[in-house]
Amino acid sequence: MIRSSRMVFAGAIALSLVAAACGSSSAGETAAEVATTVAAAAPATEAAPAVTEAEAEPTVTEAAEPAVTEAAAPAGDAVCPEKIVIQTDWWPEIEHGGSYQLIGPAGKIDKETFRYSGPIDAKYAVAGVKEVEIRAGGDAIQFAPVTTEMYTKDEITFGYVNTSDAAKDSKTAAVVGVAKTLEINPQMIQWDPTQLTIEKPEDIATTGATVL
């Protein structure tokens, strides 16, 4: 996976999104399936006198051929790696639940590296994928940005990245969003009440403090 197409995982993984993100899903292949369906469903036969062989060829056969060629077809049925590695942005929490469900309760915990891994659950099976590994973030990785982890560790397939961070890091660590599970990103601001007097949101601006 080249850096310009690194994938960012902005929420818990859903099976359909994993399949779409790393499975075989080229536009040409889809067009070929549609063309094959049309050709199979509407042959020119005596039972359909309104469609002659001359009329059927331009609308079905000839239209289907340019849609996909042998050279454009993918080399295999899927391009997923056998092991999917997911880098989260914090310690295990409810927002990561969908990712952990890919493995289920049969996974193994590595207390030294703060990782949870195991075979992918049968009900979430994706062609080519055999194992899933989930890595804790936050201070488990010395608070390193997830985008940095993705660029320095090639084995990482997906990462949890806030949209604002993806935009901020786009010049040096571009990522591609493939999923989201939160419509609103829950954020909070905390401060030391012995240093700042804040009673309402408007007071934040009057303090002159830097908001991180």
Q: Give the length of the chain.
A: 212
Average pLDDT of the residues in 85-104: 93
- Prediction pTM value: 0.60
Higher-pLDDT residue of 209 and 56 is 209
Return the SS3 of 20: helix
What are 69-91's pLDDT values in tens digits? 444 444 455 578 999 999 999 99
pLDDT band for 176, please (50, 70, 90 cuts).
Answer: very high
Higher-pLDDT residue of 127 and 27 is 127
CB 126 within 8 A of CB 19: yes
Res. 4: pLDDT tops 80: no
Return the SS3 of 176: strand
Q: How far apart are CA 145 and CA 175, in angstroms?
A: 12
**Helix (H) / strand (E) containing 83:** strand 83-87
pLDDT band for 26, please (50, 70, 90 cuts).
Answer: very low
Please provide the average confidence, as pLDDT, over all residues in the chain. Answer: 74
Which sign does the torsion angle of CA 138, 142, 146, 150 carry? negative
pLDDT band for 42, please (50, 70, 90 cuts).
Answer: very low
Q: Which pLDDT does position 67 carry in this prediction? A: 47
Res. 134: pLDDT tops 80: yes
